[in-house]
Amino acid sequence: MLSELEVGTIGIIESVDLPPSVHNHLMYMGFLPNARVEVLHRAPAGDPTVYGIDGLEIALRRETAQAIQVHTTRQARTVKQRPQHASATKGKR
Amino acid sequence: MSTCCTPTQYEPPAPNGENTGLRTIALIGPPNSGKSTLFNRLTGLRQKVANYPGVTVEQRMGAMAGVGRSDLTLIDLPGIYSLDAFSEDARVSVEVLEGRMPGTPKPDAILLVLDSLHLTRQLMLAAPVLALGLPTMVLLNMSDVMETRGGEIDPLRLAQELGAPVARISAVKGTGMEAIQLFLNRHRGQDANQATRTVLPVVGNAVSAHKWATQVSARTGYRAPLSEEASRKLDAFLLHRIWGPLFFLVVVFSVFEVVFSIGQPLSDGLGDVLARAGTWATNFLPNDWLRSLVLDGAWKGVSSVAVFLPQILLLFLFIGILEDSGYLARAALIADRVMRSIGLNGKAFIPLLSAYACAVPAIMATRTIENKRDRLATILVTPFMTCSARLPVYMLFIAAFIPPIAFVHGLVGLQTLVMLGLYLLGFLAALATARLLKSSILKSSQTPFILELPQYRMPTLRSIGLRLWDRGSVFLRQAGSVILVVTLGLWVLANFPRHHGAAPELTESIIGRLGHWMEPAIAPLGFNWKIGIGLLSSVLAREVMVGTMGTLYGADPQTQSLSLQSALHHDLHLGGAIALMVFFAFAMQCTSTMAVVRRETNSWRWPAIQFLYMLVLAWGAAFAANWAVHLIWG
C-alpha cells in the first residue's frame, strides 16, 4: 500500500481501488498504473502525506493512500539529503 | 468591506456586423498553470491571482485590451484536469465551454494554457479540449523557467502533432503575447471553424489520454526540467513536525504585531491630517447648519473609517504574500488534522484563511470543496473568521480602552494580545459551529482529501501592488459611498425635529428616540443607545459602525470637541467595550456576505438561519463578556 511507504522511498503503482469519480480524478493527476510515486513529506501531524508524481506534489490522506497498491523499488535520490529519515531507510540499503 | 468582493461587472461588447468570426475567447488549462496571470496580461484587468490550485472559482470576463483587441471578450475559467467534472468549479468550466452557462456566451475560440514544467501530464487535457472542435491555440507557459532548468520542447513538432498553433510564452514576464495577437488576427472576420485537425484519439479515459500524451511529448522531443530541489528543501522545514506549525504561528503573530506597531502610528498620522483638512476646508463655509452637516456629519464619519487604510493595506499585503508564494496550500496541509477533527478537510481551511481578508471571495472559493455538505458547512462558518471589515472596529475600541502595556522587552503588546484573542475567538466559533453542523444536519461520509501543492514562487511586485491598489481603492470607495450616505442620514436624523429652528438635544432627536427605544435590548450587554444605533447601521457592513460612532459623538455637544477615542469613554465602560468587540467577533453584519451565501446555496433559508444563529451567539457572548468584566473589575 502506498500509505505504508516510508518518506524518501519510491513505489510503482499497481492498482487503485477507489470510487470511480475519485479514481478518475486521481488518474488525471497522474496516479496511473506503472506510474512512479515518491514519498516526499508527511504533514506535521503525520498525515496527510505529500507524494511526488510526474513532477507534481500531491497530498493524500492515509485512507486514500491505503487504496493505492504499489510495489517498491530502489530508494529515491533525495534520501541522502535528509539525514532525519536515514533510520527509516537503513534497513533497505 | 461589503462591496469589496463583488466582481467588476463587465458587459461583453455588442456584436458588430463586419466582425462575425471571433467574439468570445475562453482561457482554460489545468489548475495553477498561470491562466489568471495571463488573463491579467491580456485584459489589463485586475483579476485576483493566487498561487494555489482552484483560486479562480467562477468565470470572469474582460475585454482583451492588453493586446489591443478590446472588441474581444476573454473568459477566465477555473482550472480543470479533465472535462469530467469532479468539483463544482470544474463543472463551471465545462458548462461554459459547451455554451450551457446562462449569461455567458459560448466561446468561439480557446486559448489552452499548459504549464511547460509538467507538459506530459498537462497534455492529457489537450486532447479533450481540441476535440471540442473550436479554433484553439496551445500556450506553453513558464517556458523561460523550463529552459533555464534544462527542459526542452519542439513547438513546431507539437503544433503538427496537435493540429493547432503552439506558442511558448511567459505570462509573468509578458513574452510571447505577439503570437496570441497573431492567432486572434488571423481569425478576424473569417469563418472560425476552418482549423484543420490531425488525428486525435477518441479520449475515453485517463489511461488512454495519458498514453497519448506520453507519445506526443516523446515525439516532440519534450524533456522535463529538473524538479526544483529548493522547493522541496523549503518544505522539509515548513512541513517539519515541530518547525512547521511553529513557523505558522510565528507568521500569524507577526502579521498582527506589524499591523499594530506600524499600522497604528500611520493611521494616527492620517487621522490628524484628515481632521485638519476638514477644519481647514470648512472655514470657507458659513458657520451654520451647513458647516455642521459637512464637518460633523459627512467628514467626521467618512474620515473615521478612512484612517484605517494603512492597517487594511498591511493586512492585505501579508495575505497577498502568503497566497502568491504558495504557502497557503502548505497551511491547508498542516491544518488538515484539525479540520478532520471537526469533520472537514484541509481544503476547507483555504477559504477560512482567505476569509481573514473578506468572507465574500472566501465563500466563492468553497467551490473547490467536492463534497456538497462539507461545502455548505464551510460556507456557514466562514463569516466567523475575522475579516478586514472588523479590523477598524477592533482597532478603534482596543486603542480607546486597552492600555498599551508591553511585555517581554516590548516584543509583545497587550493590545496585540487582545486582538489575537478576538481573531482566535472567531476561529474557535467557526470550528465549533462546523463540528456541530457536521455531527448533526450536515453529517456525511468523508470525501478524499486530494490537494496539489504548487511550487513556491517569489510573489511579484506587480501582482501584490495591483492587489493593494484594488483593495485600497475599494475600501475608500466604500467609505465615500455607503458610509457617506449612512453618516449623512444619521446627521439628519440626529438634527431633526428642529427645536425652535435649532438642532434638538441629541436625546430628543429622531435617532435619540430610536436609540432609547431599543436600549432595553442592548443594556444588558453594557451598550449605550449610540452603540445600539451603530449596531443597527452596521448590519450593512461592519466598518459602518466606526463611521456611525464618528457622526453620533460628533453631533453630541458634550463630546464634539474630543477625539473619537476619548469621546467613547464619555458614556461607555470597559465591560461594554469588551462586549462590543465580542459581539462583532460573532455577529453577521454584512449584507454582501448574506447575498453571496444566498447565491451559493440557492435559497434564503441558509443566510437567514446563519444570521439568526450568529446574532443569538453574539448577544449571548457579549452578555457573558460584560458580566465577566463587571465581576472581575467591579
DSSP per-residue letters across B590-617: BHHHHHHHHHHHTSSHHHHHHHHHHHHH
Q: Is the pLDDT of residue B434 over 90?
A: yes
What part of A 22-41 touches B (C-beta under 8 Å)? 22, 24-30, 32-33, 40-41
Find the CB nearest A24 among B206, B242, B336.
B206
- Average pLDDT (B415-426) is 89
pLDDT (0 to 100) of residue A60? 93
Residue with cell 493547432: B164
Contacts of B451 in chain A (CB under 8 A): 48, 58-59
pLDDT (0 to 100) of residue B227? 65
Least confident range from B95-99, B116-120, B398-402, B501-505: namely: B501-505
Amino acid, res. B93: S
Q: What are phi and psi of B20, to 5 degrees?
A: -95, -10
Cis bond before residue A48 (omega within 30° of 0): yes
User: How far off is chain B from A8, nearest CA to CA, in Å?
Assistant: 12
Alpha helices (H) in chain A, listed in sequence order: 20-28, 62-65, 86-89
What pLDDT, in 10s, does the model give residues B136-177? Answer: 999 999 888 888 888 888 888 888 888 889 999 998 888 888
Inter-chain residue contact B333 with A60, CB threshold 8 Å: no
Strand-pairing partners, residue A37, are A11, A53
pLDDT (0 to 100) of residue B188? 57
What pLDDT, in 10s, does the model give residues B79-125? Answer: 888 887 666 777 778 888 888 877 778 888 999 999 888 888 888 88
Domain ranges of chain A: 2-85
pLDDT (0 to 100) of residue B5? 42
**CATH of B24-227 among 3.50.50.60, 3.40.50.300, 3.90.70.10, 3.30.110.40:** 3.40.50.300
Mutate to test the interface with A, among B80, B145, B149, B227 (most CBs of A within 10 A): B227
Query: Taking a C-beta distance cutoff of 8 angstroms, is the pair B156, B104 a contact?
Result: no
Q: Which residue of A has its CA nearest to B446?
A: A63
Contacts of B242 in chain A (CB under 8 A): 44
SS3 B122: helix
User: How far off is chain B from A51, nearest CA to CA, in Å?
Assistant: 10
pLDDT (0 to 100) of residue B201? 55
pLDDT (0 to 100) of residue B17? 41
Least confident range from B38-47, B67-76, B234-243, B613-622: namely: B38-47
Inter-chain residue contact A25 with B233, CB threshold 8 Å: no
Rounded Cα–Cα distance for residues B481 and B476 (Å): 9
Q: Is the pLDDT of residue B189 over 60?
A: no
Query: Taking a C-beta distance cutoff of 8 angstroms, is the pair B362, B385 a contact?
Result: yes
Average of per-residue pLDDT values in chain B: 81
Cβ-count burial of A48 within 10 angstroms (0-12 exposed, 13-18 middle, 19+ buried)?
buried
Q: Is the pLDDT of residue B611 over 90?
A: yes
Mutate to test the interface with A, among B115, B121, B146 (most CBs of A within 10 A): B121
Find the CB nearest A43 among B82, B229, B239.
B239
Rounded Cα–Cα distance for residues A90 and B285 (Å): 84
Amino acid, res. B357: A
Which of A25-39, B13-27, B183-197, B301-315 ranks highest by mean pLDDT?
A25-39
Which residues belong to CATH 3.40.50.300 in chain B?
A: 24-227
pLDDT (0 to 100) of residue B582? 96
Contacts of B31 in chain A (CB under 8 A): none
What pLDDT, in 10s, does the model give residues B316-372? Answer: 888 788 888 888 888 888 888 888 888 888 888 878 877 887 787 788 778 778 788
Find the CB nearest B333 among A25, A29, A59.
A59
User: How far off is chain A from B142, nearest CA to CA, in Å?
Assistant: 15
Q: Is the pLDDT of residue B609 over 70?
A: yes
Q: Is the pLDDT of residue B505 over 80?
A: no
- Average pLDDT (B191-197) is 45
**What is the pLDDT confidence band of residue A75, given thresholds at 50, 70 and 90?**
low
Contacts 24+ apart (CB under 8 A), B414-422: B415/B260, B416/B253, B416/B256, B416/B257, B416/B260, B416/B261, B418/B581, B419/B256, B419/B260, B419/B394, B420/B253, B420/B256, B422/B386, B422/B390, B422/B394, B422/B581, B422/B582, B422/B585
**Is 2.30.30.90 the CATH number for A2-85?**
yes
Rounded Cα–Cα distance for residues B438 and B432 (Å): 10
